[in-house]
Amino acid sequence: MTHAKRLGMDAFTIELLDGISGGGEAPAELAAEVGRLFAAARDAQRTGPIVELFRALVDAKRRPGIGFEAFGMSRDALEELCGRHCSIDEHGVTVGGRVGRAAAVVEAANPRVADYLARRDVEAPSGVELWDELCANARRIRDVLGMSEEDWNSFSGQLRFAVNDVETLARCLDLPESAIRDVARVTGTYRMRLTPYYASLVRRGVANDPVLLQCVPTAEMVDNVGVELPPVASDHSPARLVDQFYPRVVAVKVTNMCAMYCTHCLRIAHIGRADRMFSREAYAEALDYIRANDSIRDVLITGGDAFMLPNETLRWLLGELDAIDHVRVKRLGTRVPVTTPQRVDSELLDILAASDDRGPVRVVTQINTAQEITPVSRDAFRRLSRHVSAVLNQAVLLRGINDSRVKMWKLCETIHEAYVRPYYVFNCSYRNPQYAHMRVPIERGRDIIEGMYGNISGDAIPRYIAAAGGKIPLHRDNVAGRGADGAVFLHKPWNGEEAVYPDADPDLYGNDADFAFNRYMGERKA
């Protein structure tokens, strides 16, 4: 046996050769094809032709039951090819390891994602894939609102022409008359605002379109029964504008303004009925608290939406934080690149880059469906990723929007390709009965996230989290039990305390007929 043969003859390869040995009568067409592959393998200086030959021999043995001897090949000749493969391969991988084992592993794994790959573009198309349809929507909405091309492509134009009332909503979107009446009931209590750009992402003729569900409030928001708990962090605000759950991290709520008010907003009580940009004095008190507590290293600027701040205010605020030695990381919470990507211009990017040069700036956004990623928003995230240290996504698990493996997996892969890293998936807030219809059972969310492991890229897999006095992981080992009322008992890893966390109502979650806009199906459009 030559040295080359010894190199290639490991246990995997011996097993492979034993398995494909034998005679039989090869059909002429098959014999000619295998003969061609054998000749190509003997002349090859690459591993591919050798692998192709052995795969053909495995197939011949598996189906017609024909061994390599039937093709006029000797074991010695095949062992020589095995040695050549091993000597060519940079890592010394053998034919047996590659064809006998690795190919089988891949073949066995492919069915795990076959269903997802077949369904993803039908059930969860991205805004990139729908772009022609969405552009037609944009032209129609622009005409309805009387917007110029310049208005449409500017942040100020998008805000100036934002849809704030049901009359304008009815002109922009095809909604049934009874749906419009219900929206009017909701907006008597809660604010509605959606930008023309975001409205253009709503697909016509899709009752519970995943974008529509996020931007147009439904009757459940006022009809759901329940007691609203105090606003999140109402008992964790040690200073003006500041929320603090952890010793080294604080959030500064710099405004109540958003370009769009989401129908699942955790801070619905904070939004109020009017836009507010806070005073420098208010910001100064928050900054004084941060300066006085040198354990703080990570500051989240949020709201509202951090990108709603005027450029000069944002530049000043980041500069103040950069001047505090113990502040090492700055985060900006924003959904604007999704709802109004026109905001991401060169001036904003220069402000972010200047601060990032002094210490890492991370942009934390919220994308909940692949439909929100269009060529425009993808380009905004691409440019952001070149000017800050990271762009992270904090999705919310929402009924009808991303509550299936297909929808969530497609979301995570789509944003991963759009320069955004999936970071968290939050279970929808239990504090607000207004959103009870949007909540998804914890077990379903866990199945969706855990199903990603081994099936999509590791850094495209987010962490599944409950917001309950801090961010509590929802992996199996962290759920201590379940009460008679269905609430789960969660373990806080940082202090050992137990948190009672109400789960979604399974009966409400299972009633699709009356969910959101489904109840209006078949009705005349407004």
pLDDT in tens, 132-180: 999 999 999 999 999 999 999 999 999 999 999 999 999 999 999 999 9
| Structural domain harbouring 102 | 3-113
Q: Is residue 289 part of a domain?
A: no
88 CB-contact burial (10 Å; exposed 0-12 / middle 13-18 / buried 19+): middle
Nearest to 473 by CA among 430, 431, 425: 425
Q: Is residue 55 part of a domain?
A: yes
Q: Which two tokens mark 286?
A: 């928050």
SS3 of residue 425 by DSSP: strand
- The per-residue pLDDT of the chain, averaged, comes to 94
* Number of separate domains in the chain: 1
Q: How far apart are CA 255 and CA 162, in angstroms?
A: 18
Q: Is residue 137 part of a domain?
A: no
Q: Longest Cα pair distance anywhere in the chain, in angstroms? A: 91
Q: Is residue 30 part of a domain?
A: yes
SS3 of residue 108 by DSSP: helix
Q: Which two tokens mark 499?
A: 């948190």
Residue 4 has pLDDT above 50, yes or no: no
CB atoms under 10 Å from CB of 58, counted, come to: 17
pLDDT in tens, 64-93: 899 999 999 999 999 999 999 999 999 999
- The pLDDT of residue 236 is 86
pLDDT in tens, 215-271: 999 999 999 877 666 665 567 899 999 999 999 999 999 999 999 999 999 887 777
- The pLDDT of residue 3 is 42
Q: Is residue 50 part of a domain?
A: yes
Beta strand pairing status for 471-473 and 479-482? unpaired
Q: Which residue type occupies 72?
A: G
The rounded radius of gyration (Å) of the Cα atoms in the chain is: 29
Q: How far apart are CA 480 and CA 478, in angstroms?
A: 6
Q: Which two tokens mark 267?
A: 């801070």
Q: Is residue 121 part of a domain?
A: no
Q: Is residue 104 part of a domain?
A: yes
Torsion of CA 70, 73, 75, 77, to 10 degrees: -170
Q: Is residue 9 part of a domain?
A: yes
